Amino acid sequence: MAIRTRMSGNEAVAYAIKQINPDVMPAFPITPSTEIPQFVASMIANGEIDTEFIPVESEHSAMSATMGASAAGARAMTATSSCGLALMWEVLYVAASSRLPIVLALVNRGLTGPLNINAEHSDSMGARDAGWIQIYSESNQEAYDNFLQANRIAEHASVHLPVMICQDGFITSHAVQNITLWEDEPIKKFVGEYNPEHYLLKEDESMAVGPYAVSNYCMEEKKAQAEAMKNAKQVILDVAKEFEAVTGQKYGLFEEYRLEDAEYAVVAIGSVCGTIKDAVDALRDKGMKVGLLKVRVFRPFPGEEMAKALKHCKAIGIMDRCESYSANGGPLGAELMAALFREKVTAEAVNIMYGLSGRDVTVGDMGEVFGWLEKMAAGELHFDEYPYLGLRD
Amino acid sequence: MSQQTFNFREIQERPDRLAPGHRMCAGCGGTIAVRNVLKALHPGDKAVVGNATGCLEVSTYMYPYTAYEDSYIHSAFENAGATLSGVETAYHVLRKKGKISSDYKFITFGGDGGTYDIGLQSLSGAMERGHDMVYVCYDNGAYMNTGVQRSSATPMYADTTTTPSGKCSDGKPQTRKDLAAVMAAHNIPYVAQTTFIGNMKDLYVKSERAIYTPGPAFLNVMAPCPRGWKYDTPDIMEICKLAVETCYWPLFEVVEGKWILNYKPKNKLPLEEFLKKQGRFKHLFAPGNEHLLEAFQKEVDRRWEELLQKCEA
């Protein structure tokens, strides 16, 4: 029987790690992800899992040791946030190009400047071109479910890429919410044993990882890696289907919430989607045709699929919890606008900056956003610049 | 030094674990270090070799060719310690789970740039955590791969591309970091300093001890670079001998915290003998620079006395 209980997002991910029982977990503490390695260390201390924990001296070493363990043939994972991910940056690329199926629990927090510990997507968005699959979670349940699916995606023969499972710092990682935990046996069967084909410790062959490659070879290697990222799209959907068969939970590349007939749509990532759903319900009650497209998978980017799902809308608000200082909006805004253009979607569209450094977003704020979209579609409102939601004057 | 463990002929007849065909320079000290350290692995024993980015890495694993007979991993410049600590931990788990049964040894190589400087934190962490691995620094006293820039291992007054000697410069103003002492301060079971002497016995014996001592071990191997040091390539063995005979590069071990001097020259040669064969110190022999030679000699003497005290304590 599944267990209905309540726990925080960090506890939920730690519970997933317990069920996966990985071989090696190197990690370094950083708020707000610190609890995850703490929970894992406790489980090891209490004999609940066989994992070896490596208490490394930095996140750079956390990712390096995770890479070493994965290349050696172990199922290896780590957890971090914010500056911790930034310190891993160099090795993120090496891990991806070495095609190592590492899983990273990322608890999203803004990068320093100024120092702030709250929810923002600047950490993972900064690493968006590092070659990692990125899957985002709205709630503790999704963080748990996504984490359980991560190894299957990463280790798939046509993928072999690292995966980061993201949840919003504090809002999801620390808030206690209801959750359904799945039974051990079917989950362990779903996740399966890790039996890689080639690895450093394979006794009947030696293997070399991390070459110097000249330009004669590099471009082909990069193309192969790009193809693997493309393949990941179908694999993510296939794994989700299998996960649904085990748990009844449905997952896709993104979630459409009352979007089918929506005239005004918002596109967003992460915990804010719960707030947006409440706003959508309230406005629908008033007869306004509004909807939400919640991005679950950001890498690979399902641009074509999202553009098609938004094609019928009159106005679209694209929400970014990350300033990219490009003077052109945030990363989701830039990439989705390009996808809308390619699909010849002619709806009015605006990129909206929200929730930076943990700034709260309310149902009322979202009512304001949908009001903007209605006016934009009617030709009554035009933004010369991408607006900041809830910015003090 | 144990006599019974060293049979020169048998050891030299062991197949090379670093195969020929790599792109290292002729006469490179780094290559001599790697070949000889790996020869200390007992025949039949398996190993995973790690490597920091540097000359060695870009010249021995150029895709699609590897010069290593054993499994090999390189990831970046500053993380050879951490990377191999992950491999070593994976080994323990996979063995515990019955997925592998062979014995493996873990040896990682870094130049002085990747070890003394950018990789010091990663090395320190790996040693402190007690992983059963050997970190071998092939110390050629500068960032040779990028074109002879100074490192914290560069000797004082050396002319490098970032400490060039000139009208207003005597070369590197600082003395070199004593990394072997820093590693000994980690209280690990085995630390040793060596170079290429005679029939490589000192290097062999220390490598074997480092590899077969349970727990972390650190080897500092002075590995001259003909291009960076500017000497006649075939003179490498003479250069190493002079480094030891002048007490510039003493041979010692720190076993379970006990400092042991492996060689005390009968007649300690003046430092000049070591310096004058190398172009990087040429400016020290210009008229008017006698005080620099004196200062350098004084520093070498000070360190030698300090080492003697540690070893006699």
CATH number, domain of A288, equals 3.40.50.920
In-domain check, residue A182: yes
pLDDT at B4 over 70: no
> Is A185 domain-assigned?
yes
What residues of B are in contact with residue A212 (Cβ under 8 Å)? 57-59, 61-63
Is there a domain that residue B2 lies in? no
Q: pLDDT tens digits for B34-46?
A: 999 999 999 999 9
Please indicate, yes or no, if residue B264 is contained in any of the structural domains: yes
Nearest-angstrom CA–CA distance, A29 and B191? 30
- The yes-or-no verdict on residue B213 having pLDDT over 50 is yes
Q: Once rounded to an integer, what is the mean pLDDT over residues B73-92?
A: 98
Q: Which range marks the domain in which residue B92 is found?
A: 8-312
Whether the pLDDT of residue B1 is over 50: the answer is: no
Specify if A234 maps to a domain: yes
Whether chain A has a CB inside 8 Å of the CB on B44: the answer is no
- Residues A194, A273: one domain? no
Q: What is the pLDDT of residue B37?
A: 98
A84/A137 same-domain check = yes
CATH of the domain at A167: 3.40.50.970
Q: Which of B59, B72, B90 sits opposite A201 (nearest CB)?
A: B90
At B3 the pLDDT is 46
The three-point CA angle A272-A319-A141 to 5° equals 30
User: How many CB pairs below 8 Å do chains A and B form together?
Assistant: 170
B313 pLDDT band, cuts 50/70/90, is confident
Q: For position B49, what pLDDT does the model report?
A: 98
What pLDDT shows up at residue B254?
98
The domain total for chain B is 1
On whether residue A163 sits in a domain, the answer given is yes
Structural contact between residues B167 and B251, judged by C-beta atoms closer than 8 angstroms: no
ipTM (interface pTM): 0.97
Residues of chain A where predicted confidence (pLDDT) is lower than 50: none
In this complex, do B86 and A26 lie within 8 Å of one another by their Cβ atoms?
Answer: yes
Number of structural domains chain A divides into: 2
A265 & A371 share domain: yes
B69–A contact, CB cutoff 8 A: yes
- Using CA atoms, how far apart are residues A6 and A181, in angstroms rounded to an integer? 9
Whether residue A387 is contained in a domain is answered as: no
Q: Tell me the per-residue pLDDT of B232-255, one tens digit each, with 9 for 90 and over.
A: 999 999 999 999 999 999 999 999
3-state secondary structure at position B250: coil
Question: Which chain A residues have a beta carbon less than 8 Å from that of B97?
Answer: 23, 50
SS (H, E, C) chain A: CCEEEEECHHHHHHHHHHHHCCCEEECCCCCCCCHHHHHHHHHHHCCCCCCEEECCCCHHHHHHHHHHHHHHCCCEEEEECHHHHHHHHHHHHHHHHCCCCCEEEEEECCCCCCCCCCCCCHHHHHCCCCCCEEEECCCHHHHHHHHHHHHHHHCCCCCCCCEEEEEECCCCCCCCEEEEECCHHHHHHHHCCCCCCCCCCCCCCCCEECCECCHHHHHHHHHHHHHHHHHHHHHHHHHHHHHHHHHCCCCCCEEEECCCCCCEEEEEECCHHHHHHHHHHHHHHCCCCEEEEEECEEECCCHHHHHHHHCCCCEEEEEECCCCCCCCCCHHHHHHHHHHHHCCCCCEEEEEECCHHHCCCCHHHHHHHHHHHHHHHCCCCCCCCCCECCCCC
Q: Residue B299: its pLDDT value, please?
A: 98
Which residues constitute the domain of residue A289?
254-377
Distance from CA of A151 to the nearest CA of B (A): 17
Q: Domain check: are A37 and A85 in the same one?
A: yes
Q: How far is B118 from chain A (nearest CA, A)?
A: 12
Contact B85 A209 (CB under 8 A): no
Q: Do A74 and B90 touch (CB under 8 A)?
A: yes
pLDDT reported for residue B5: 64
In contact, A109 and A120? CB cutoff 8 Å: yes
Q: Are residues A226 and A259 in the same domain?
A: no
B79 token code pair: 């993380």
Identify the residue whose tokens are 């299998």: A242
Does B87 sit within 8 Å of A72, measured CB to CB?
Answer: yes
Q: Which of A13, A54, A68, A67 is nearest to A35 (CA)?
A: A13
Is B76 within a domain?
yes
In a domain, A391, yes or no: no
B135 interfaces chain A, CB cutoff of 8 Å: no
Classified as helix, coil or strand, B272 is helix
Q: Does B146 touch chain A (CB under 8 A)?
A: no
Domain assignment present for residue B3? The answer is: no
CB-based contact (8 Å) between A208 and chain B? Answer: yes
How far, in Å, CA of A86 to CA of B95, rounded?
A: 33
Asked whether the beta carbons of B222 and B234 are under 8 A apart, the reply is: no
Q: Please check whether residue A393 lies inside any domain of the structure.
A: no
Whether B129 and A94 lie within 8 Å, measured CB to CB: no
**Predicted local distance difference test score (pLDDT) of residue A229:** 98
Does the pLDDT of residue B162 top 90, yes or no? yes
Asked if B145 reaches chain A (Cβ–Cβ under 8 Å), the answer is no
Please, which pLDDT band fits residue B6 given cuts at 50, 70 and 90?
confident
**CA nearest to A67 within chain B:** B83
Give yes or no for a contact between A228 and A160, defined as CB atoms under 8 angstroms apart: yes
**A93 in contact with B, Cβ within 8 Å:** no
DSSP annotation of B115: I
Identify the H or E element spanning B312: helix B290-312
Residue B79 touches partner A, C-beta closer than 8 Å:
yes
Q: Is the peptide bond before A114 cis (omega within 30 degrees of 0)?
A: yes
| In a shared domain, residues A236 and A361 | no
Residue B227 lies in a domain: yes
Contact between residue A324 and residue A330 where contact means Cβ atoms under 8 Å apart: yes
Question: How does A14-52 read in b/e, with b if 16+ C-beta sit within 10 Å?
Answer: bbbbbbbebbbbbbbbbbbbbbbbebbeebeeeeebebb
Does any domain span residue A385? no
Q: Do A239 and A262 lie in a common domain?
A: no
Q: Are residues A27 and A143 in the same domain?
A: yes
Contact B261, B118 (CB under 8 A): no
In the structure encoding, which two tokens stand for residue A292, read together?
Answer: 């939400």
Q: Which class for A221: exposed (0-12), middle (13-18), buried (19 or more C-beta within 10 A)?
A: middle
Say yes or no: A24 and A55 in one domain: yes
B130 and chain A in contact, CB less than 8 A: no
Q: Over the stretch B260-294, which tens digit does the pLDDT of each residue have? A: 999 999 999 999 999 999 999 999 999 999 999 99
- CATH number at B195 reads 3.40.50.970
B69 contacts A206? CB cut-off 8 A: yes
Instruction: Please judge whether A57 and B50 are an interchain contact, meaning their C-beta atoms are less than 8 angstroms apart.
Output: no
In this structure, the answer to whether residues A67 and A96 fall within a common structural domain is yes
According to the model, what pLDDT value does residue B2 have?
Answer: 47
Judgement on whether residues A266 and A126 belong to the same structural domain of the protein: no
Q: What is the pLDDT of residue B187?
A: 98
Cβ contact (<8 Å) for B91 and A201? yes
If asked whether residues A268 and A238 sit together in one domain, one would say no
User: Is residue B13 a part of any domain in this protein?
Assistant: yes
Q: Please give, rounded to a whole number of angstroms, the shortest distance from the CA of A27 to a CA of chain B.
A: 11
